[in-house]
Structure 1
Amino acid sequence: MGVGLTSTEKKFLADPTQFNSSYRSKLYYRISRANS
């Protein structure tokens, strides 16, 4: 992963369960797009 993640995204990757599903999918989409 060459892109710098925000602290929120790092927290999300460490523990996705603390985020609700709609936020999770939105964040996941952003992270996967940033990495491509």
Structure 2
Amino acid sequence: MGVGLTPTEKKFLADPVQFNSSYRSKLYYRISKKVLASV
């Protein structure tokens, strides 16, 4: 899967709990956009 995730995004995927909910949804949105764009 050739998605260019930043270290922060990778950390988020590994452990979402350490991020607060608003930041989590923002990161999740960004990641899903990248994933969709790479498909």
Q: Tell me the TM-score normalized by structure 1.
A: 0.91
In structure 2, the residue matched to 1:20 is: 20
Quick one: percent identity of the two aligned structures? 83
**What is the alpha-carbon root mean square deviation over aligned residues?**
0.7
Q: Which blocks of at least 5 consecutive residues in structure 2 are unaligned? A: none
AA matched with 2:22: S
Count residues with an aligned counterpart: 36
User: TM-score, structure 2 length as denominator?
Assistant: 0.85
Gaps of 5+ in 1: none
Larger Rg: 1 or 2?
2
